[in-house]
A and B are shown apart, each in its own frame.
Chain A
Amino acid sequence: MLNELDFSAIIVTIKLAIVSTSILILIGTPIAWWLSQTKFKFKAVFEAIIALPLILPPTVLGFYLLITLGSNGPIGKLLESLGGSSIAFTFTGLVVGSVIYSMPFVVQPLQNSFSSVGRKPLEVAATLGASKIDRFFSVAVPLSRSGFITAAVLGFAHTVGEFGVVLMIGGNIPGETGVVSIAIYDHVEAMEYGQAHWLAGGLLATSFLMLLFVYIINRHFSIMRSKD
């Protein structure tokens, strides 16, 4: 059965996923909105940068993060000069890595659903006296409900499932940066297949249920739309 370290890994994982997803929605929403509205010439460059984690080996991302965040890296030095300490091998470092790594999973569904809202409802809202920011919250956001749900679930699930980035910048400190995906790896290394089964099966089931939820929600919304 699971030991104390496993439980702490589960707790760290859930905490990491919740914090990262919240930050991702906060940062990803304005980025996705901007990408969906802008006619900026080099928009594709930004889209490519955000999509990078989709194809980049996580170790590459983790490596660069380690270099930048570590005490010799630019951000590490900046933090130390401000009286702080390097965030490599800390929970904060893990959050930074997760946010970057899961960004496309949040930005892309949001951008798609903002784009599918179209210009019309926003123009209608403008003629009804709603300012730009008002239009965003009163029209664009409610009309993009399914996009937000998809973004949050995918961001959460992808953060739970990450391995490479965590391995590079996390350091597997119990209770701080030790997450489930690494715990599974450790159990397998130590030939503790029973515990690995419990954790792996748990992740499999949770991931499946979350994806199932996303597909049901999207189906529900698309049926609602086709009734119009």
Chain B
Amino acid sequence: MIECKIKVQLESFMLDANFSIPDRGITVVFGPSGSGKTTLLRAIAGLEKSDKGFLKIGDSVWQKGEDFLATHKRQIGYVFQDAALFDHLDVKGNLNFVIKRAIGLKEDFIESIHNLLEIKTLLNRKTTQLSGGERQRVAIARALLTNPKILLLDEPLSALDLKRKNEILPYLDSIHNDLEIPILYVTHSQDEMSRLADHLLLIEDGNIVGSGPVNDMLTRFDMPLSHGGDAVSIIEAEVLKRDSEFNLMHLDFLGGQFIVPDNSFPVQTKVRIRVVARDVSLTKSKQVDTSILNIFPAMVQEIVNEGEAQVMVRLQIKETILLACITRKSSYKLRLEKGSEVFVQVKSVAILS
């Protein structure tokens, strides 16, 4: 577990962060700009000081009451928004800077980080000769070479264009899959959040307003993300088979099978499906003469009003939770209420990995 109970007073801003999150996987710190995401990351790194508090990462305690461990003694990997490489050193020099100082670093770990981020061809370059994406790759490798207890990423993709973002994302996936380092990832981009988060930490005005598994946080009506036009659900699935006749693939999830256009993922690939609430419609009886392929029986868990004309419906498809945004009129006509049995029709989905 990662336990954090810290308060940081800045000139015109107060961060009061009290939460605990799992010490594995990616936890996305999500909130609007100015909500204190970066301050939280800096506080965990010890770059902002909490006068009192408690901070424990796995089995290392970094703050207990007034005992505060200085940044350089915390085993952290910190990736800044702008990579922040040392320009007085080349790529190799940047990596050696940390290799010289790291605690308990093994030769094969260094090797595996080099391979993971495909850094070897960059080693002899000057930092000024790197592209934005390459700089960020070196920065991530450098952060990992601290042999960190936690990897802190502060909007690492926000300075990059879409092409470079897509260049870096697979590296983040391999860190996620290959290393057992918990990651705290700050972003205000919903795309990055829904693609990467296992766990979500919602922050507003310096306070933690929610913490939990990503789809819970997206679909709980007491959480801000489950409202408005951006409301989405995320479903974990796996490629079950590919239909070459119609060029489709079948994705297996805890609730059934999605059928989506084939994008040549091999069978058994784990994928994430994002369903926008507005792309989901409901019927009382199962439609047969429809163009929609993805229809699942479901049960209504809860309904709330969304403005004057619409309602948000939380549905349960076996073990999977999904949001649907429909008009109030339709809900009235179908006489939807808690426990109603319905059919969910999903018009379109986005495949995230």
Could you list which residues of chain A lie within 8 angstroms of chain B, going by C-beta atoms? 120-121, 123-132, 134-135, 138-139, 142-143, 145, 227-228
Q: Which residues of B contact A131 (CB under 8 A)?
A: 70, 72
Q: Determine which of A123, A128, A139, A145 lies in contact with B47 in the assembled complex, contact meaning CB atoms within 8 Å.
A: A123
Are B98 and A128 closer than 8 Å at their CB atoms?
yes
Q: Are B72 and A227 in contact (CB under 8 A)?
A: no
Residues of B close to A121: CB separation below 8 A: 84, 86
CA–CA, A135 to B47, complex, Å? Answer: 14
Closest to A227 in B: B128
Known: A138-B97, A227-B128, A228-B128. A126 touches B71 (CB 8 A): yes
Q: Please tell me if B80 contacts chain A, counting CB pairs below 8 Å.
A: yes
Name B74-96 residues within 8 Å CB distance of A: 76-78, 80, 84, 86-88
Contact A129 B101 (CB under 8 A): yes
A126 CA / B98 CA spacing, docked (Å): 10
A143 adjacent to B88 (CB under 8 Å) = yes
* Minimal Cβ-Cβ distance residue in A for B100: A129
Q: Is B103 an interface residue (CB 8 A)?
A: yes
21 contacts between A and B (CB under 8 A): A120-B80, A123-B71, A124-B86, A126-B71, A127-B47, A127-B76, A127-B77, A128-B97, A128-B142, A128-B146, A129-B98, A129-B101, A130-B72, A130-B101, A134-B72, A134-B101, A139-B86, A143-B86, A143-B87, A143-B88, A227-B128
Q: A127–B128 contact, CB under 8 A?
A: no
A-B contact count (CB 8 A): 60
User: Complex Cα distance A127/B146, Å?
Assistant: 9
- B88 and A129 form a contact (CB under 8 A): no
Determine whether the beta carbon of A142 is less than 8 Å from that of B146. no
Asked if A142 and B88 make an inter-chain contact with CB atoms under 8 angstroms apart, the answer reads: yes
> What are the 8 closest A-B residue pairs judged by CB atoms, nearest first?
A129-B101, A127-B78, A126-B71, A128-B98, A142-B88, A124-B84, A126-B72, A131-B72
- Interface of chain B residues 254 through 307 with chain A (CB within 8 A): none
Question: Is A127 in contact with B71, judged by CB distance below 8 angstroms?
Answer: yes
Q: Is B231 part of the contact surface with A, judged by Cβ < 8 Å?
A: no
Q: Does B45 contact A (CB under 8 A)?
A: yes
Instruction: Beyond A131-B72, A139-B86, A228-B87, list 17 extra A-B contacts (CB 8 Å).
Output: A121-B84, A121-B86, A124-B78, A124-B86, A125-B72, A126-B72, A127-B71, A128-B98, A129-B73, A129-B101, A129-B102, A131-B70, A132-B72, A135-B72, A138-B97, A139-B88, A142-B88
Query: Which of chain A's residues has its CB closest to B88's CB?
Result: A142
Give B83's nearest chain A residue, CB to CB. Answer: A124
Which residues of chain B come closer than 8 Å to A145, judged between CB atoms? 88
In the bound complex, residues from chain B placing their C-beta under 8 Å from that of A126 are 46-47, 70-72
